[in-house]
Structure 1
Amino acid sequence: MELNSSMQVLVIQTGGTIDKDYPKRKGGYAFEIGKSAARGIIEQHNVPLRFRYETVCQKDSQDITDEDRLKLLTVCNDCSEKLILITHGTDNLLTTAAFLGHQNLPKRIILTGAFLPEKFKDSDAAFNVGVALGALQCLSSNGIYVAMNGLVLPWRQAMRDPDTGQYVPK
């Protein structure tokens, strides 16, 4: 698939650490899922592609349900875009990637997230979103991929190292 100026990337927010923000409620102590971090990153860096944004849910990935995954699948399946970036919490990112991977969608979909909220100074959010956007343009095959830690891996070849928490090849 060649990328051309009429092509559009769908960016889907599901929540997770990447989107966490400081509490807005008085007396709040826990982080809240805020606006799409990917959208802010893309707009800040003036990425010269066309984007459409959609929110499926705003949850910590530990709270994402099969119902949420079905809604995500419906959005991915029904949209006209062939290139999709999904931001997701890192704890269950591979579960969602596997769920989507078993559907054989005729699209190129990359899931990414962050270990620190985008709002934090040393967050990996912008780096991971940038790697994912570059990969969407350069990969030659449709499928489900994971972009974390500077790596882009087909979902079946990605795992999380139990000692470091980093995403690594199987």
Structure 2
Amino acid sequence: MKITFIQTGGTIDKDYPKVTKGWAFEFGEPAIQRIMDKLEPAFEYKIVTACQKDSSQLLKKDLDEIANLIRHDNGVKFIITHGTDTMIQTALYLNKVVKDKLVIITGAIRPERFSNSDAPINLGSAIAATNLLEKGIYITMHGVVKSHLDINRNLETGKFF
């Protein structure tokens, strides 16, 4: 099994400022790599970066880039790390343009750098789901794995269900 991970940014990848008196989070290396280093996976993988943005800042050209990375890759299993604000919209877009591939979108409510981050469990759920699901577009967050058509989000709590 081989999985292609695609970094797009979002909270999962946010990092502390690297300058003095910095206050805003920055994007750095993919959180995926730090998590995979701890996992020592029994499968092949690669990590590619489509962009490093807050999901509310994604443009159509960014979505096109994500879709092109998937369509032109020989693999069939993809996990996208993404900001939670627009992951459902990205899933709906990808469903229109990506066929015959398994795509799972996940992210985190708290950055992977935080000790109480949900990033490792969400990424782990996505990895496990690649062993069980057929082609299609899915989202996994908060211990839930659902088709992009069946998942919802409570905007008051931020939880997906």
TM-score by length of 1: 0.92
The one of 40, 55, 64 equivalent to 2:34 is: 40
Aligned residues of 2:67 and 2:98 also touching (Cα < 8 A)? no
Structure 1 SS opposite 2:97: coil
The aligned counterpart of 2:153 is 160
Q: Encode CA deviations 1:131-170: one digit per residue, 9 max, x unaligned.
A: 000001111x2000000000100001111112211011xx
1:119-134 map, 5 Å = 119-134=113-128
RMSD (Å), alpha carbons: 0.9
1:77 aligns with 2:109: no
1:25 equivalent in alignment to 2:22: no
% identical equivalent positions: 39
- Please state how far the C-alpha of 1:103 moved relative to its aligned partner: 2.0
CA distance in 2, matches of 1:104, 1:80: 13
For the 8 Å contact 2:9–2:55, the answer to whether it is kept is yes
Consecutive aligned runs of 4 or more in structure 1 exceeding 2 Å deviation = none
How far did residue 27 of structure 1 move? 2.5
* Kept in 1: contact 2:2–2:75 (CA 8 A): yes
1:144 and 2:137 matched:
yes
1:9-58 alpha-carbon deviations (Å, 9 max, x no partner): 10000000000000012331100012111121012111111001100000
TM value normalised by structure 2: 0.97
Give the partner amino acid of 1:63.
Q
The number of aligned residues is: 161
1:54 alignment partner in structure 2: 48
> Which ranges in structure 1 are unaligned for 5 or more consecutive residues?
1-6
